Amino acid sequence: MKNLSLLKIIVFYLLIGITALLIGHGLIDWASVVLVHNTLLNFHVLLDLIFMVIGAVIIFFSIRFYQKNQETTELNYQRLFNTSPIAIYVMAKGNFKILSVNKAMKKLYGYTTQEFLQMTTFDIRPEEEHERIRNFMNHCGEADPESEIWLHRKKNGECFYVKTTFHRIPLLKDGAYVVMVVDIDKSIKDEKKISDLLHLYETVSHATNDVIWDYDFVADQLKWMQGYNETYGYSKDSSPDIFRAMQKIHPDDRVLVMESFKNIITDKQKYFFAEYRYRCADGSFKYIRDRGYAIFDQHGEPVRMIGAMQDIDKQKKYEQQLLSQNEQLKEIAWLNSHQVRRPLSNILALISLIKDSPGNQDVLELIDFLAVSSKELDDAVIMINKQTMEGKAAQLSEDVA
């Protein structure tokens, strides 16, 4: 733009000069015919003076026009510099002195313009960053340095992360740089929080049997988090699940689970809960307790659901074992109340008769009956002991398995 304006001035000056020379030659030819020699000499001098004055006026206005153009450009750049929402400062390359700052720079760091002009770039950095910036600038050479992430310090002592961009400008003998500063402290800290949360999630995943899943309602895509392949034995290359089909849920449990899931869509329920049997890669089934939380859009439609599958297979099998033992105890109690009590009642009755019997023959018959009842009582006790031992053996085998 500057070269184009200067070229226009030169062309304009040449056109005016050529026109003036042509007019001058015409006047001189006319004067040489009409005027005498002395008068012609004086006329030449007058024309030279007129041409010099005209040239000076043209040069003055041309230079003035160029200066105004430069001033306007400088003013626009200055306005752009001061009103930019990005913090910008000018730094001398040799001594790292701060030469100029904009309003955003003052707002970000808390210093005034006068304070900045007495500072160097080291003053807005913690001490541990001084050697790094020195080496960085020494190795950049004549090219603009690449953007870097730095730790800066505000006037109140607070340190924060920024990303800077350097652009070289030849303002001083040793050169200077326009430095643009972008505050990325929140982004860096958010990334750290996310990293900490991921680390916490991985720790929790290792400490529990829960497998986290993420379901996209719109795309009907289910994404498994860490632990799924290890828990259920599927390879990473296995075909993706179609969530709504629920093919891997036991057929006897599938209908109830699908009904619970439909309530999320039809009744706009936020929470999903179900217990079912889930098929593993080897064909076996594990008992699962599944919980989910639905996320809805502004129109009240579900768009996403996050859930956790907890392996409760051991717990369920233990509950079934307890129920089986409870049934055995009920049967033992029945034997105790019927099989044991009946011969015992007979023995008690026979003892009463023996006491009241006057003859020996009758006593012998009663003793025979007493022996039979005793044998029945012994058989009942043996049966109870046998069932109790069988229950303990079954429990032991399940615990070993």
Low-confidence ranges of the chain (pLDDT < 50): 1-2, 36, 400
Helical spans, DSSP H, in 84-171: 103-109, 113-117, 130-140
- What predicted TM-score, i.e. pTM, was given to this entire model? 0.46
Residues 125/152, Cβ–Cβ less than 8 Å: yes
SS3 395: helix
CA–CA separation, 98 and 115 (whole Å): 10
Predicted local distance difference test score (pLDDT) of residue 400: 46
What pLDDT does residue 339 have? Answer: 60
Sheet-wide strand order for 159-169: 98-101, 87-92, 176-183, 159-169, 148-153
* d(C-alpha 9, C-alpha 11), whole Å: 6
pLDDT given at position 219:
83
Residue 156: per-residue pLDDT: 93
Closest by CA to 146, choosing from 165, 124, 118, 171, is 165
Q: What is the pLDDT of residue 236?
A: 73
Residue type, 367: I
Predicted local distance difference test score (pLDDT) of residue 230? 78
pLDDT confidence of residue 376: 73
pLDDT on residue 118: 93
Distance CA 376, CA 228 (A): 58
What's the pLDDT at 224? 82
In terms of Cβ atoms closer than 10 Å to its own Cβ (0-12, 13-18, 19+), residue 114 is exposed
Q: What percent of the chain has pLDDT over 90?
A: 14
Question: Tokens for 59?
Answer: 């040069």
Query: What are the pLDDT digits (tens) for 148-207?
Result: 889 999 999 999 999 998 888 765 556 788 899 999 998 888 888 878 877 776 776 666
| pLDDT given at position 22 | 67
**d(Cα 38, Cα 46) in Å, to the nearest integer?**
13
Task: Note the pLDDT of residue 135.
Answer: 86
CA distance 244 to 221: 9
pLDDT at 238: 65
Q: What is the pLDDT of residue 152?
A: 94
